Chain A
Amino acid sequence: MSLILELENLKKYYATQKAVDDISFNIEKGSIFGLLGPNGAGKTTLLRMITGIFYPDSGSIQFDGSTFNPTEDIIKIGYMPEERGLYKKMKIGDQAMYLAQLKGLSKSEAMEKIKFWFKRLEMETWWNKKVEDLSKGMSQKLQFVTTVLHEPKLIILDEPFSGLDPVNANLIKDEIYGLAERGSTVIFSTHRMEQVEEICDHIVLVNLGKKVLDGTVHNVKQQFKENKFSIHLSSIPTAVESPAFLVDEQKESELIVKINEGYKSNDVLNYFIQANYTIDSFKEILPSLNEIFIKLVENTHSTARAFQQVND
């Protein structure tokens, strides 16, 4: 599969910190990509370089097969920043029109696309309302529409679900899937790991300006699994002891076991079968992304680094 974005050794240093310190990764066309990291990890700086707002100090960005040219390629990108807003006094229709025209659409094209999206997201009646009359969730929807209106090849969404109720969040989620199916690539930046797990194909975790994790959601989970299994027995077991595993936790008839090195899951099953227990269920416990995230980020003092001086 071809790549929409290739980042190579990107660096961006501020006076007081190394915001992005030698990060490289690739993003496949049509994928939904999760960019994760704690507050102040350098995500926003990274995204600002990808959207041409900042120039990297060093390193290169390849966009759709050729060197990224902000002036030209900016039209092919839709960016919904975390710090976002709209002109309060402007009518919603005019606002969408304005932003669409700035993305290079002609008046008639813009009108057509706005009508399409407003209808799709049930916003048609909003046209003449002012932004200040909208609730937070409503303006969020409008913001999403203005981001994807010009059918960009690359869509960057920074915390797209904040402020949305579950119904609208699902609506937007479905649209994200739809956009990816139609060939757009989505970069998705958030702290909400359950959403990442659900939506993203591929993730990258950055911390302290460096990449600490890169892979598909499945691979990452495999990489961090601790060989834990949950077993449901039909009766409450007594005196469980085996060289193959340790009991981590027991809750009546449910056991969570950790398999020792050199043993396999079948050894656990064999033990219980031989001990004459009926096994109702047996399931591997994979770590959630949340756990992996916390494990990797904890104790790195990532939030304190904004106040440290760069020495070189």
Chain B
Amino acid sequence: MNKIFIIIQREYLSRVMNKRFLLTTILTPIIMVGFFAGATFLSISGKDEHKIAVVDNNGFFKGNLQDAKDIHFEFPENVDTSNYIKKGYTDIIIIPKFEGTEKTDYIIRSKKRIGLGTEDKISDRINAAIEDKLLQDAGINRGSLDSIRSKSKFAELKSLEEGTDAATESNAALSYGIGFGSGMLIYITMFIYGAMVMRGVMEEKTNRIAEVMISSVKPFQLMMGKIVGIGGVGLTQFLLWIILILGLSTAAQFLIPQDVMQQVSTLQQYNGQMPGGSMVQAGDAAQKIYKFQHTMSTANWPVIIGCFLFYFLGGYLFYSSLFAAVGSVVNEDPQDAQSLMLPITMPIIFSFIIMTNAVQDPSTSIATWASIIPFSSPMVMMARIAYGIPGTVPYWQLAASMLSLIGGFILTTWLSGKIYRTGILMYGKKVSWKELSKWAFRKNQ
């Protein structure tokens, strides 16, 4: 037992005390955030100034079009599509004869392509102007309409789910996000850490250290030491990511202006409404932050995180021993590994596909069964758990899934251990599937 601890220690420390580990741990979330931020930025780019000439022969919009940031509307005389650039405008909008009853196209011509965000803004302004005009024609006051609108927003759809004691608020979009996110994370880490185990075993075999080690420790100890050590590396990485995310979001709070934060905390106190009727309106930003925080709080985080850790570890143990067995039978040629890995990667990919469906519809019979069978349960169950226990996932299903996963990884570890101890000392021979199964089910060595 002491020996396996020494092996775990080496496997763990040699990976964690490594510059590359720290770098990937810190850079991965930053790169991911950067990637999304970059994608968002690109889609709304078009930050450049727009000076738009509006050709409105009916005078329909005059004085009604409001400028936005970086967008200025002007109503010059004697400007048309042939000379607007010369006169210093970036774009020109031609308003056709507007009847107000039929849908009409208006055309914007630009010096250069306008971004999606800018296009949306321009379209918003024009529609608002039309709306104003129509309201005016119908004799409705803009101010009273606004107050009606904001009052009507107090009624909001909140879906409640039947629980055991009290109906808890649920949020389908959040459940989807959590289910998909955690399923995806398990999918990725299964490959990353499984491959890490396999490479480690292959290294021991090709460097010929296996036999040196086997003369001191049992093959099973060597295999388990590696699996547990690398599992620890995975947990450490998750822990660091959680700390990093918490740290970053705390830091982000300081970037929000003080008065907005005050409004948010007031909203929290009064359950989403400002005290004293609509006398004091909470700012737009505060409303959004409150809404985000409120949505996040509808999820049962302790259960989700607990289950995530369980299914991550269970799934990892289930598959990593299989990866170890593959590593032990591979010779010098890494291409052998490719074909031997196929029977392991196929169920993982297949589970991922089931997971993407289960996250949309968590109660189908295929999702239910896939969340109990240990081959696919780590991913599929996480997708379902996000929708709530015991509402979507009854307790008996969770228990069956967890027990079968535990049984599953004991079985795969046992079989893999038998393949491993023969394979690790076998050189220069390509192993067939028939031989592998013979090794796995042999009583003695």
Which residues of A pack against B, CB within 8 Å? 48, 51-55, 71, 74, 77, 79-81, 83-90, 98-99, 101-103, 143, 146
How far, in whole Å, are A90 and B427 apart by their CA atoms in the complex? 24
List the 4 shortest-distance A-B pairs measured between CB atoms, nearest first.
Answer: A85-B208, A79-B215, A85-B207, A81-B211
Closest to B4 in A: A102
Task: Indicate which residue in B10, B208, B444 contacts A98 across the interface (CB closer than 8 Å).
Answer: B10
Contacts A77-B215, A102-B6 hold; do A53 and B209 have CB atoms under 8 A apart?
A: no
At the interface, yes or no: B3 with Cβ under 8 Å from chain A?
A: yes
Contact of B208 with A89 in the complex, beta carbons under 8 Å: no
Q: Which residues of B contact A52 (CB under 8 A)?
A: 215
Closest to A57 in B: B444
How far, in whole Å, are A26 and B254 apart by their CA atoms in the complex? 79
| Size of interface on B: residues with Cβ below 8 Å to A | 21
Task: Indicate which residue in B7, B14, B207, B214 contacts A53 across the interface (CB closer than 8 Å).
Answer: B214
Contact of A101 with B445 in the complex, beta carbons under 8 Å: no
Contact of B6 with A101 in the complex, beta carbons under 8 Å: yes
Task: Indicate which residue in A83, A101, A102 contacts B208 across the interface (CB closer than 8 Å).
Answer: A83
Task: Indicate which residue in A83, A99, A102, A146 contacts B211 across the interface (CB closer than 8 Å).
Answer: A83
* Residues from 196 to 213 in B contacting A, C-beta threshold 8 Å: 203, 207-209, 211-213
A70 to chain B, nearest CB (A): 8
Counting chain B CB atoms within 10 Å of each CB, which of A74, A84, A101, A102 scores highest? A102
Contact with A along B1-45 (1 / 0, CB 8 A): 001001100100010000000000000000000000000000000
Contact of A84 with B6 in the complex, beta carbons under 8 Å: no
Contacts A53-B215, A99-B216 hold; do A85 and B3 have CB atoms under 8 A apart?
A: no
Contact of B14 with A102 in the complex, beta carbons under 8 Å: no
Closest to B219 in A: A53
At the interface, yes or no: B425 with Cβ under 8 Å from chain A?
A: yes
A10 to chain B, nearest CB (A): 15
Contact of A74 with B208 in the complex, beta carbons under 8 Å: no
Q: Which residues of A contact B445 (CB under 8 A)?
A: 54-55
A277 to chain B, nearest CB (A): 59
How far, in whole Å, are A148 and B171 apart by their CA atoms in the complex? 65
Q: Which residues of B contact A83 (CB under 8 A)?
A: 208, 211, 427
How far, in whole Å, are A54 and B426 apart by their CA atoms in the complex? 13
How far, in whole Å, are A85 and B427 apart by their CA atoms in the complex? 14
Q: Which residues of B contact A86 (CB under 8 A)?
A: 207, 209, 212
How far, in whole Å, are A99 and B213 apart by their CA atoms in the complex? 8
Q: Which residues of B contact A53 (CB under 8 A)?
A: 211, 214-215, 425
**Seed contacts A74-B216, A79-B212, A85-B212; 17 additional CB < 8 Å A-B pairs:** A52-B215, A53-B211, A55-B445, A74-B215, A81-B208, A81-B212, A83-B208, A83-B211, A84-B208, A84-B211, A84-B212, A85-B208, A87-B207, A88-B203, A102-B3, A102-B216, A103-B216
B231 to chain A, nearest CB (A): 20
Contacts A77-B215, A102-B3 hold; do A90 and B208 have CB atoms under 8 A apart?
A: no
Q: Which residues of A contact B10 (CB under 8 A)?
A: 98
Contact of B209 with A85 in the complex, beta carbons under 8 Å: yes
B429 to chain A, nearest CB (A): 10
26 A-B Cβ contacts within 8 A? A51-B215, A52-B215, A55-B444, A55-B445, A74-B216, A79-B215, A81-B211, A81-B212, A83-B208, A84-B209, A85-B207, A85-B212, A86-B207, A88-B207, A89-B14, A90-B14, A98-B6, A98-B10, A99-B216, A101-B6, A102-B3, A102-B6, A102-B213, A102-B217, A143-B212, A146-B212
Q: Which residues of B contact A103 (CB under 8 A)?
A: 216
Q: Which residues of A contact B444 (CB under 8 A)?
A: 55
Closest to A85 in B: B208
Contact with A along B419-445 (1 / 0, CB 8 A): 000000101000000000000000011
How far, in whole Å, are A51 and B218 apart by their CA atoms in the complex? 11
Closest to A77 in B: B215
How far, in whole Å, are A102 and B203 apart by their CA atoms in the complex? 19
Closest to B6 in A: A101
How far, in whole Å, are A99 and B3 apart by their CA atoms in the complex? 10
How far, in whole Å, are A53 and B209 apart by their CA atoms in the complex? 14
Q: Which residues of B contact A88 (CB under 8 A)?
A: 203, 207
Closest to B212 in A: A84
How far, in whole Å, are A88 and B3 apart by their CA atoms in the complex? 21
How far, in whole Å, are A99 and B214 apart by their CA atoms in the complex? 11
Q: Which residues of A contact B425 (CB under 8 A)?
A: 48, 53
How far, in whole Å, are A79 and B208 apart by their CA atoms in the complex? 13
A36 to chain B, nearest CB (A): 20
Contact of B14 with A99 in the complex, beta carbons under 8 Å: no
Q: Which residues of A contact B218 (CB under 8 A)?
A: 71
Closest to A54 in B: B445
Q: Which residues of B contact A87 (CB under 8 A)?
A: 14, 203, 207, 209
Q: Which residues of B contact A71 (CB under 8 A)?
A: 218
Counting chain B CB atoms within 10 Å of each CB, which of A81, A85, A90, A103 scores highest? A85
A215 to chain B, nearest CB (A): 28
Counting chain A CB atoms within 10 Å of each CB, which of B7, B10, B212, B213 scores highest? B212
Closest to A101 in B: B6
How far, in whole Å, are A85 and B209 apart by their CA atoms in the complex? 4
How far, in whole Å, are A84 and B212 apart by their CA atoms in the complex? 6
How far, in whole Å, are A102 and B209 apart by their CA atoms in the complex? 14
Closest to A47 in B: B215
Q: Which residues of B contact A84 (CB under 8 A)?
A: 208-209, 211-212
Q: Which residues of A contact B6 (CB under 8 A)?
A: 98, 101-102
How far, in whole Å, are A81 and B14 apart by their CA atoms in the complex? 25
Closest to A158 in B: B211
Q: Which residues of B contact A74 (CB under 8 A)?
A: 215-216
Q: Which residues of A contact B207 (CB under 8 A)?
A: 85-88
Q: Which residues of B contact A90 (CB under 8 A)?
A: 14
Q: Which residues of A contact B216 (CB under 8 A)?
A: 74, 99, 102-103
B302 to chain A, nearest CB (A): 39
How far, in whole Å, are A21 and B401 apart by their CA atoms in the complex? 49
Q: Which residues of B contact A80 (CB under 8 A)?
A: 212
Q: Which residues of A contact B427 (CB under 8 A)?
A: 83
How far, in whole Å, are A290 and B236 apart by their CA atoms in the complex? 58
Closest to A98 in B: B10
